[in-house]
Amino acid sequence: MNGFVENVDKSLKIAYRIYGSGDEVIIGFHGFGHPKEDFSPISEHIPQHQRLIAIDVPGHGDSFFHPKREKNDPITKQEWKDLILQICKKEKVKAFHLCGYSLGGRMSLVTLEVLPEMVLSATLFSPDGLMKSTLYKFGNENWAGKKLLHFALDHSRYAVNVVTLLGKLRFVPMTKVNFVKYQLENHDRLSKVKTVWSALSLCWPDFDKIFNNHFQLKKIVIAFGKHDPIIPPSHGKVLETYKKKYPVYIELLPLGHRTLKKEGIEYLKNLDYWPPSSS
């Protein structure tokens, strides 16, 4: 079953799809460049007592973020909270588990921050949001950087040439050069980059708030791909301090960046981390 919610002025719409019919709920957020249907094969690993609400992150699938907001009016955490609450009200959800992959991992952490009283657990696969790269900070938190970023996205051919040169000079790893080229050399993917980069620039998790406000959170499980060149396991170091006091479990999967798939699920099953539970 499909559904959607939107804000008052209809400049932001969040679409979702429901898999299963159980009472216990998992809310899932896909990775960059993927739609909510990315969870279709994962739904086969959802037990009967659970149901999965897979959400299209803004800039993807059937969700909508108005172009007029792209440069100067990003989504706020309060706005995100209100939309998730709308979904919960519409689907009669009182509490839920979180599951997020890559970009969806970041949105899971933001959801955990703004709705701590509703989150039972979080299972994150190769999650974005643990660290901000220097490039991201420059492009989103610096006036000149923002101008340069928008110019680069509007003139992507030049941006690709510059990144390629930086790779040849060994200022940027070639794995990341290839990732950037893959995103910018296709019109649809470039459009997603523009929307996501601007729309979600304020949606970064605050870990002090997350761990100081957790009301019923039982555990956070984070699965990194051992061979991931995009979000390497070293990003998990930011959680070392919190691991000493809170139930944070970090696992290394024998995979690359693509950890939300059958092999990743099976790996967590063997560790009793899947399906998500409150125990």
pLDDT at position 149 is 67
pLDDT at position 20 is 96
Task: Specify whether the CB–CB gap between 69 and 140 falls below 8 A.
Answer: no
In three-state secondary structure terms, 249 is strand
pLDDT at position 173 is 82
What is the spatial distance between Cα 22 and Cα 26, in angstroms, rounded to a whole number? Answer: 10
What is the spatial distance between Cα 135 and Cα 149, in angstroms, rounded to a whole number? Answer: 10
pLDDT at position 139 is 67
pLDDT along the chain (279 residues), means of 10: 95 97 97 94 93 97 93 93 98 98 98 95 97 72 70 75 83 80 77 84 94 82 96 94 90 96 95 90
Q: Domains of the chain (ranges plus CATH)? A: 2-131+204-270 (3.40.50.1820), 134-198 (no CATH)
pLDDT at position 135 is 64
